[in-house]
Amino acid sequence: PGRLVLGVESSCDETAAAVVEDGRRALSSVVASQVRDHAPFGGVVPELASRRHLEAVAPVIRAALAGAGVTLGQISGLAVTQGPGLIGSLLVGLSAAKALAWARDLPIVGVSHLEGHIAALRLMDDPPAPPFAALLVSGGHTSIYHVHDFGQMEELGQTVDDAAGEAYDKVAKLYGLGYPGGVIIDRLAAGGDPTAIQLPRPRLRDGTLDFSFSGLKSAVVRFRQEHIGQNYRIEDLCAGFQEAVVEVLTSKTIAAAKQRGLTRLALAGGVAANQRLRQAMAQAAAAAGMELTAPPVALCTDNAAMIAAAGAIRLRAGLRLALEADAVSRL
Ligand code: KG4
Ligand code: ZN
């Protein structure tokens, strides 16, 4: 086998471990989701998340090794998410990975969760060739990057308030649709009319590559208050909200690529699983003569294979995480 990197991820509500060969092939990818633990609260409860990570981290790492058919002795390096994320959650994965590195005298690198989401693209059968523009949309982040090379990305714009996924989750919570809200709204919106309920497109024509989603969320709150007791379809509300989000994401990503003279686009992060976003982005890319890469859903949402893929690049570059290094909540 080639060089094997064991990746560990615990930044939010998923405990994950994976073995990746040569930074390109995931031999295993195990994700233990805590969604059911947090669902009754309508969002992630940080203290509960830390406890669940603590219970899951060792079995998940063992399962990743077994799934890849390798032993710890065959691993050549470790990669772990150092931030950003919930500090208590991050510390569990970081401590576990450091302990393994120390016990087995293995090299270890710390990886940014965001760099990981972009590195997920490298695990595809047909990865996008750098340079390309990447839209990273997740529950905590919404950014556009100029990816010069894997491991070398330049931020061109980001949200000034809520992340796109956060807006989905908050709207779902407002209407009591369930948690996490993104995939539920995605499904409901498919049965709705996106033109029936018009909502604002924040910062659509402000000329920057920055996003804002808190105003859109407030518009939904206002709409709901003004229509109490009136009949409207929740599917139409979901479709109208989603159309506003997708239009802003799509148009700014195309604008960013044009500014930088890039002809390739890629999606990353949990919201990249959104069916309407994938469809609208494919249409916009085709109209602009650009090529779009949309990874399979399992590579969009949080996983550790993406952390191992990003880590492989850092390990090769000779970077190392000091055993006394801390987790960084706002990395
Ligand atoms: O990347 P991710 O798994 O975790 C973070 O790093 O945040 O993204 C999770 C986010 C959540 O806000 C979730 O609601 C959203 O991605 N999401 C979706 C869909 N699937 C997940 N949003 C819209 N449509 C989806 N199909
Ligand atoms: Zn993520």
CA of 225 to the centre of ligand 2 (A): 32
| Any ligand 1 atom below 6 A from CB of 34 | no
Same fold, 4-119+301-316 and 128-294: yes
**Predicted ipTM?**
0.98
**What pLDDT, on a 0 to 100 scale, did the predictor assign at position 331?**
86
Quick one: which atom of ligand 1 is closest to the CA of 172? 14
pLDDT at 2 over 80: no
CA of 121 to the centre of ligand 2 (A): 13
**How do the domains of the chain map onto residue ranges?**
4-119+301-316, 128-294
CA of 326 to the centre of ligand 2 (A): 20
Distance CA 8, CA 130 (A): 26
**What pLDDT, on a 0 to 100 scale, did the predictor assign at position 261?**
98
Quick one: which atom of ligand 1 is closest to the CA of 269? 1
Query: Per-residue confidence at 109, pLDDT binned at 50, 70, 90?
Result: very high
Q: Is residue 22 marked as binding?
A: no
Distance CA 30, CA 52 (A): 15
Quick one: which atom of ligand 1 is closest to the CA of 242? 23
Q: Is residue 117 marked as binding?
A: yes
Q: Say if CB 265 and CB 147 are below 8 A apart.
A: no
Distance CA 94, CA 8 (A): 8
CATH architecture for residues 128-294:
2-Layer Sandwich (3.30)
- The pLDDT tens digits of the residues spanning 216-243 come to 999 999 999 999 999 999 999 999 999 9
How many residues in the chain? 331
Mean pLDDT lowest among 34-43, 100-109, 230-239, 283-292:
34-43
As to burial, measured by CB atoms within 10 angstroms (0-12 exposed, 13-18 middle, 19+ buried), residue 61 is buried
CA of 270 to the centre of ligand 1 (A): 3
- The pLDDT tens digits of the residues spanning 25-82 come to 999 999 999 999 999 998 899 999 999 999 999 999 999 999 999 999 999 999 999 9
Query: Per-residue confidence at 1, pLDDT binned at 50, 70, 90?
Result: low
* Class of the CATH-defined domain 4-119+301-316: alpha beta
**What pLDDT, on a 0 to 100 scale, did the predictor assign at position 167?**
97
Residue 20, phi then psi, degrees to nearest 5 = -120, 135
Q: Is residue 191 marked as binding?
A: no
**What pLDDT, on a 0 to 100 scale, did the predictor assign at position 62?**
98
Q: Is residue 88 marked as binding?
A: no
| Any ligand 1 atom below 6 A from CB of 18 | no
- The pLDDT tens digits of the residues spanning 114-169 come to 999 999 999 999 999 999 999 999 999 999 999 999 999 999 999 999 999 999 99
- Measured from the Cβ of residue 241, the count of other Cβ atoms closer than 10 Å reads 27
Distance CA 149, CA 44 (A): 33
- The pLDDT tens digits of the residues spanning 246-272 come to 999 999 999 999 999 999 999 999 999
| Cα dihedral sign, 177-182-187-188 | positive
Mean pLDDT score of the chain:
97
Query: Per-residue confidence at 204, pLDDT binned at 50, 70, 90?
Result: confident
CA of 195 to the centre of ligand 1 (A): 24
